A and B are shown apart, each in its own frame.
Chain A
Amino acid sequence: MREICVEIGGVPILLRTPDSNFRKLIEQRYAGFVGTANNAQSSFDIDFLPVGASRAEVPAETDDDGPSIVVKHDGRKWHFERGDFHAEWHAGTGQGRIALAPSPYGIDAILRIVHSLIQAGQGGFLLHGASAIRNRKAFLFSGVSGAGKTTISRLAPPDATLLTDEISYVRCESGKYFACGTPFAGELAALGENAQAPVERLFFLAKGAENRIEPIGQADALRMLLRNILFFADDSELVGKVFRTACEFLDRVPVSRLTFYPDEHVWELVQ
């Protein structure tokens, strides 16, 4: 078995595959996020589905993991299924197995699910949105498809460290929230930097004729935040945890609407 440890948000996950080429593929895909196996608390043994066994062709990478993925808990283990993979994971022991078509897209989806479940239990979350560090402070930019996540990432000035243009990783540590870089890329097709910083502000993006920041009411902010948190599992206990996490995040982090005209001047408001 060839091992490789992918560490995102300070959470190392060990992947074992008998195929050296696939290991190399994972190493290239997650370059910058490859850690050491010593402290991995979760691990997956990977097997390939027999040729023709995957239900659909390997999907293109999109920002919508939701409808096609089934995530269930049977009382002992989590089960994740999509056309091109099925996997199981025991949250208590951290042990899991994956059977997939030999493509990193399936690994990408499984990592997002596992991290969303881990963070749901630790007061953090994964968010549909870009994020960047500027002046040692992290800014999150969330919004529906087309709101401008990729655009604002593309316009980032040289002094900004781009954490992701697609899936932001928010970790809670001693009541403080940190944004971490992720390898989950969107249209920008560039991995984020493997860095982290305290979250200064969450912006919900909208494109407009001018740049302006407006306040958002707490109720609207909660509604928008919940709409953009990645959450796959149909599990009532975890739903409650995610709700409480969103409320606690809003208690501590300012949230605003950032309407912007797509040129670099928008970053004058983000610092």
Chain B
Amino acid sequence: MAETYIARSTKIAARNLGGEMMIMSAVDSTFFTLNPVATVIWQAADGKTPLSQIVSEQVCSEFEVEPEQARRDAEEFVSQLSQHGILLISDHPLSSDRPATEAP
């Protein structure tokens, strides 16, 4: 099965506030608040690490969640954010453009 690679769009503004990752699309001003699991995936979205590896090495190790459930949730989350142009998805590694993300 082909791997999925994810990278943060450069057309966003993001900030960790009070432990919650807040993201705003600079394209359509859509606003998102990520839960802790989604935040881990978001922060790991470097375009180089496969989504399956992010789920197994970071999500499943930090949260009590079944691997299959974690994979399904991650794919749904990634799909949702990609529809708003917040995350970029590819079946091959993506270039590491610096995202417009501020440090927490």
Q: Give me the interface of A with B, judged by CB distance under 8 Å.
A: 217-219, 222-223, 226, 236-237, 239-240, 243-244, 247, 250
Contact = CB atoms under 8 A, between A and B. Distances in A.
Interface in B15-60: 15, 17-18, 20, 22, 24-27, 29, 31, 33
Interface string B89-101: 0000000000010
A219 B20 contact: yes
Interface of B: 11-13, 15, 17-18, 20, 22, 24-27, 29, 31, 33, 100, 102
Contact of B26 (A218, A223, A226, A237): A237
Name the 7 nearest CB pairs between A and B, nearest first: A218-B18, A236-B26, A243-B13, A218-B17, A240-B13, A219-B20, A239-B26
B103 to A, nearest CB: 12
Contacts of B100: 240
A219 B13 contact: no
Contact of B13 (A223, A244, A250): A244
A239 B22 contact: no
Given A222-B22, A226-B24, A244-B102, A239 B17 contact: no
A34 to B, nearest CB: 35
A63 B27 CA distance: 25
Contacts of A218: 17-18, 20
B9 to A, nearest CB: 10
B17 A250 contact: yes
Contact of B29 (A217, A222, A223, A239): A239
A237 B10 CA distance: 11
A244 B100 CA distance: 11
Contacts of A237: 26
